[in-house]
A and B are shown apart, each in its own frame.
Chain A
Amino acid sequence: MKPAPFDYVAARTVAEAVEALGGTGHKAQVLAGGQSLILEMRLQRVRPDLVVDINRIRELGGMSIEDGDLRVGALVRHTAFESAEVAPGPLGTLLSRAVVNIAHPPIRSRGTMVGSFGWAHPASEWCAIGVTLEAVVEMTGPDGTRSVAAGDYFLGPHRSERRPMELITSVRLPLLREDTGVGFLEHRRTGFCFAQVAVAATLTVTDGAISGARIGLANCADRPVRARAAERSLAGADIGPLPEGARLPDDHLFAHAGRIAAQEDAAPVAEPYADVEYKRQVIAVLVGRTLLEAAADQRARLAVREGRR
């Protein structure tokens, strides 16, 4: 199908975009990368009266480091994160490991990270990372700008704190300390499907013990979630030698954390080919493996640092 007719505004400034969004009593949609929106418009599941195209707003195109955060403007495409150099330290590594899971190159060259926050799909990799890292979503509306923590921002599938007349201008992701390791793993049916389950993890290790752990889950509930119970199970734990091989021993602390995440933190929604029991099994396995990846990344960083001394 083709999209139904709509009015189109190509805003040149944030103020113009906000004015256009606020000036309609009807349904308006913000168009950034459009890789989800235009598809939904083709399927006519979304039929906006007005499309506000923000692609010509120059001020939204940039990325910068500010006060220990990576600030990502609303027009930064997924493809920008394919290099780990996109941000200093472990954050750049985490983003580059996640981005390859997002569709494929021609989609990544259009779609945007901030657009993923606007779309608020439960399987979104970026939204899960936002919740994991306690990112901040910055919005501008008729009453000025405001910031919402990612943990409070997501309300359900395609539902968020953003009001219809507000434009998300950027997302701020905190940089990660050098003694932090990162992991990101995704499970899906074929190479370019949506995630059935995706997991982001960071581990900070001080003197061989876990001093900080963050675990975020994509598509494990009606919105991205932090696996806080699983994180608590790791606090202060001695990390010890990392097990080898693909399968974690059942009594390993990462496997234990995985089971906690699956049972206590996740609230899986059944989907075709992935019922709730199946998802819980995948979550348990994937959380364990992602933690192992984060621990290995942390060790590798430590080895590089010690080699430099």
Chain B
Amino acid sequence: MKITLNVNGAGHFVDVEPRRLLADVLRDDLGLTGTHLGCEHGVCGACTVLMGGRPVRSCLVLAVQCDGSSVRTVEGLAEPDGEPHPLQRAFSAEHALQCGFCTPGFLMAAAGALEADPGLADDPEAIAGVVGSGICRCTGYEPIRRAVVRAAREQRGTAGRAP
């Protein structure tokens, strides 16, 4: 089946079998291997990407379901000039990653939450939802929580600034 995927702002025409998952098409057909596959059961969260701005498990979405949709992966977080996204800076500052396998999923889940809710910094339950939506075997989660809070505060702080 021929589909059109808009990934990180670039259009791709791909011919995929209906049974293939979005994660596999991103990784194998488009070479975007920043999206990691851990459990492939929707549990671990490493494969989380944004689909139409919403965080989804790319291992539980068929690529053909994304025909015409816009998808954002971890490769699309940083600025085109390589300047890291505020979340990426916050993850680095708070030591929110060690091996880094789970990080793309946490970054995208947090990016989706930040974009949906500019007041995320003041909503500890929503932040707990983001931190709890993936599995990290290194950090113990607390640094990830701090990083999301840091990025959310930074976003809130700049939101009111005059252009």
Q: A5-B19, A39-B42 are in contact. Are A104 and B62 (CB under 8 A)?
A: no
Contacts of B56 in A (CB 8 A): 106, 109-110
The chain A residue sitting closest to B42, CB to CB, is A39
| Residues 30-43 of chain A, each 1 if its beta carbon lies under 8 Å from chain B, else 0 | 01001100110111
- Output the least CB separation between B97 and chain A (Å): 19
Within 8 A of A (CB), among B26-55: 40-43, 45, 48, 54-55
- Output the least CB separation between A53 and chain B (Å): 6
The answer to whether A105 and B133 touch across the interface, beta carbons within 8 angstroms, is yes
Contacts of A41 in B (CB 8 A): 19
Contacts of A43 in B (CB 8 A): 41
The answer to whether B132 and A8 touch across the interface, beta carbons within 8 angstroms, is no
- Output the least CB separation between A124 and chain B (Å): 16
The answer to whether B18 and A8 touch across the interface, beta carbons within 8 angstroms, is yes
- Output the least CB separation between B76 and chain A (Å): 17
Contacting B48 at CB < 8 Å: which of A4, A100, A106, A192?
A: A106
- Output the least CB separation between A194 and chain B (Å): 12
A60 contacts chain B at the CB level, 8 A cutoff: no
* Total chain A interface residues with beta-carbon distance under 8 A: 30
- Output the least CB separation between B26 and chain A (Å): 15
Categorize the interface residue count of chain B: 20 to 34
User: Which residues of A are interface residues toward B (Cβ below 8 A)?
Assistant: 2-8, 10, 31, 34-35, 38-39, 41-43, 51, 53, 55, 79, 100, 103-107, 109-110, 191-192
Contacts of B84 in A (CB 8 A): none
Contacting A5 at CB < 8 Å: which of B17, B48, B61?
A: B17
The answer to whether B132 and A191 touch across the interface, beta carbons within 8 angstroms, is yes
- 13 intermolecular pairs with C-beta atoms under 8 Å apart: A2-B20, A2-B21, A3-B19, A6-B18, A35-B57, A35-B60, A39-B60, A53-B65, A100-B125, A106-B56, A106-B109, A107-B42, A110-B54
Contacts of A2 in B (CB 8 A): 19-21, 24
B130 contacts chain A at the CB level, 8 A cutoff: yes
CA distance A109 to B52 in the complex (A): 11
Contacts of A79 in B (CB 8 A): 54
Contacts of A103 in B (CB 8 A): 42
Contacts of B60 in A (CB 8 A): 34-35, 38-39, 107, 110
Q: A5-B19, A51-B18 are in contact. Are A105 and B109 (CB under 8 A)?
A: yes
B129 contacts chain A at the CB level, 8 A cutoff: yes
Contacts of A55 in B (CB 8 A): 65
B1 contacts chain A at the CB level, 8 A cutoff: yes
- Output the least CB separation between B1 and chain A (Å): 7
Contacts of B57 in A (CB 8 A): 35, 106-107, 110
Q: A7-B18, A106-B57 are in contact. Are A192 and B132 (CB under 8 A)?
A: yes
The answer to whether A110 and B61 touch across the interface, beta carbons within 8 angstroms, is yes
- Output the least CB separation between B57 and chain A (Å): 5
The answer to whether B62 and A42 touch across the interface, beta carbons within 8 angstroms, is no
- Output the least CB separation between B4 and chain A (Å): 13
Contacts of A31 in B (CB 8 A): 62, 65
